[in-house]
Amino acid sequence: GNSVTQMEGPVTLSEEAFLTINCTYTATGYPSLFWYVQYPGEGLQLLLKATKADDKGSNKGFEATYRKETTSFHLEKGSVQVSDSAVYFCARHGSSNTGKLIFGQGTTLQVKP
Amino acid sequence: EAQVTQNPRYLITVTGKKLTVTCSQNMNHEYMSWYRQDPGLGLRQIYYSMNVEVTDKGDVPEGYKVSRKEKRNFPLILESPSPNQTSLYFCASSLSNWNEQFFGPGTRLTVL
């Protein structure tokens, strides 16, 4: 099938802790992969992306590497801040010409001071 | 500023009362989509449009209509809303099928 699976939340961390949010996907071929972030009360913003295998997307201290062997795109950050508290969505392009993104269910991150 | 705008941001209505949620983008994007976000389900595509006068169903189109008379606008129409359409709705646009999507701020709809 075509799906994206994220680790369930909520994830609660202390400031400066290391963050990993797991994401795996199923697809035929090698779709582009994305992480979007949704801050409270706002729409989704693109956080980072990778368009082919072994690409590493990075932004604002977050990183994710496109691993075709494990069909994964895990999000990591070395030292989280309170301002990183948000909902994080992993997504991949749909395989047809629909302009569709297929999203995971979202993972809520709460960072405490 | 490049952006996708939606109106209204919040709406409470009653079953059966027709409503329209507007969406507009100023980036001259070809593709536009509507998604709904529900807890535990992520975002699911309702309808999409590849260009003016070209629209098609997404994964959850039942109970919704769209139109694309101008490139910048892509309204979502609920002819007869029902409580199961209570959700958070997002409009998105992209330059092409394979480019990143830009999202609007969302419209929280409650149908009583």
Contact A42 B105 (CB under 8 A): yes
Question: What are the structure tokens assigned to B97, written together?
Answer: 């099928």
Q: What is the pLDDT of residue A9?
A: 83
User: Does B83 have pLDDT greater than 90?
Assistant: yes
Q: Which of residues 16-75 of B touch A (CB under 8 A)?
A: 31-33, 40-45, 48, 50, 56, 58-59
- Burial status of residue B23 (CB atoms within 10 A of its CB: 0-12, 13-18, 19 or more): buried
Interface test with A, best of B29, B59, B103 (most A CBs within 10 A): B103
A14: alpha, beta or left, given left = phi > 0 and alpha = psi -120 to 50? Answer: beta
Is the bond preceding B8 in cis, omega lying within 30 degrees of 0?
A: yes
Q: What is the pLDDT of residue A95?
A: 67
pLDDT tens-digit readout, A11-49: 999 999 999 999 999 988 888 999 999 998 888 999 999
Tokens 């006068």 sit at which residue? B53
pLDDT tens-digit readout, B11-58: 999 999 999 999 999 999 999 999 999 988 889 999 999 999 999 999
What is d(CA A88, CA A97) in angstroms, rounded to the nearest whole number? 25
CA of B108 to nearest chain A CA: how many angstroms apart? 10
Phi then psi for residue A26, to 5 deg, are: -120, 140
Instruction: Fill in the DSSP letter of residue B101.
Output: P
Quote the percentage of chain B above a pLDDT of 70.
Answer: 100
